[in-house]
Amino acid sequence: MNNSDPKAQIELLQKRIRELESNIDSDSSEEKIKQLRQEMGLLQAERDKLDSIWKKTQLARHEKRPYTLDYIHRIFSDFQEIHGDRRFADDPAIICGMAHFEGRQVMVIGHQKGRDLKERQYRNFGCANPEGYRKALRVMKMAEKYQRPLITLVDTPGAYPSIGAEERGQAEAIALNIREMAALTIPILVVVIGEGGSGGALGIAVGDRILMLENSFYSVISPEGCSAILWKDQEHMREAAQALKITAEDLLSFGLIDEVVPEPENGAHADHDAAAEILKNHLRRHLEDLLAIDVETRLNERYRKFRSMGVIESRAPVAAGR
Partner 1 sequence: MAWFKKEKQPIAPTPEEARVVRTEGLFTKCPQCSRALWKKDLEDNLGVCTKCSYHFRISARRRLELLFDEGRYTEYGSDLFSPDPLGFHDKRAYADRLQEARRTTGLNDAVINAAGQLSGRKVLVCAMESNFISGSMGCVVGEMITLAVEKAVEDQTPLVIISASGGARMHEGTFSLMQMAKICSALARLDRLRIPYVSILTDPTTGGVTASFAMLGDLNIAEPGALIGFAGPRVIEQTIRQKLPKGFQRSEFLMERGMLDAIVDRRQIKDFLTRSLCFFCDR
- Which CB sits closer to partner 1, 178 or 293? 178
Candidates 247, 224, 227, 250; CA nearest to 5 is 227
| Of 182, 252, 270, 274, the one binding partner 1 by CB under 8 A | 182
| Residue 267, phi then psi, degrees to nearest 5 | 100, 160
CA distance 263 to 58: 15
> How many Å apart are CA 66 and CA 193, to the nearest integer?
8
Residue 121-160 contact track with partner 1, rule CB under 8 A, x = bound: --------------------------------------xx
117 near partner 1 (CB under 8 A):
no
Strand, coil or helix: 35: helix
Shortest approach of partner 1 to residue 13 CB, angstroms? 21
Is 204 among the residues that bind partner 1 (CB under 8 A)? no
- Residue 301 interacts with partner 1 (CB under 8 A): yes or no: no
- Which of 244, 135, 137 is CA-nearest to residue 180? 137
What's the Rg (C-alpha) of the chain?
Answer: 23
- Cite the beta strand spans of 125-241 per DSSP E: 150-156, 188-197, 209-213, 217-219
Nearer to partner 1, 68 or 227 (CB): 227
296 in contact with partner 1 (CB under 8 A): no
In angstroms, give the least distance from the CB of 94 to partner 1: 16
Report if residue 10 touches partner 1, rule: CB under 8 A.
no
**Could you say which of 183, 291, 292, 295 contacts partner 1 (CB under 8 A)?**
183
Residue 88, interface with partner 1 (CB under 8 A)?
no
> Which residues, including other chains, have CB under 8 Å from residue 198's CB and lie 6 or more apart?
158, 159, 219, 220, 221, 222
| Contact in structure between 128 and 161 (CB atoms under 8 Å) | no
CB nearer partner 1, residue 114 or residue 169:
169
Q: Among 10, 20, 36, 178, which residue sits at the site for partner 1 (rule: CB under 8 A)?
A: 178
Distance CA 112, CA 159 (A): 12
Only segment of 26-34, 198-206, 268-276, 281-289 that touches partner 1 (CB under 8 A): 198-206
Q: What distance in Å separates the CA atoms of residue 152 and residue 286, rounded to the nearest whole number?
A: 13
CA atoms of 147 and 128, how far apart (whole Å): 26
User: Three-state DSSP class for 98?
Assistant: strand
Residue list 223-282, contact with partner 1 (CB under 8 A): 225-226, 229-232, 236, 239-240, 243-246, 251, 254, 256
Binds partner 1 by CB under 8 A, chosen from 19, 30, 166, 235 = 166
- Alpha-carbon span 217 to 145, nearest angstrom: 32
Residues binding partner 1: what is the number (CB under 8 A)?
Answer: 67
Residues that bind partner 1 (CB under 8 A): 2, 4, 159-163, 165-172, 174-176, 178-180, 182-183, 198-199, 202-203, 205-206, 218-221, 225-226, 229-232, 236, 239-240, 243-246, 251, 254, 256, 302-303, 306-307, 309-322
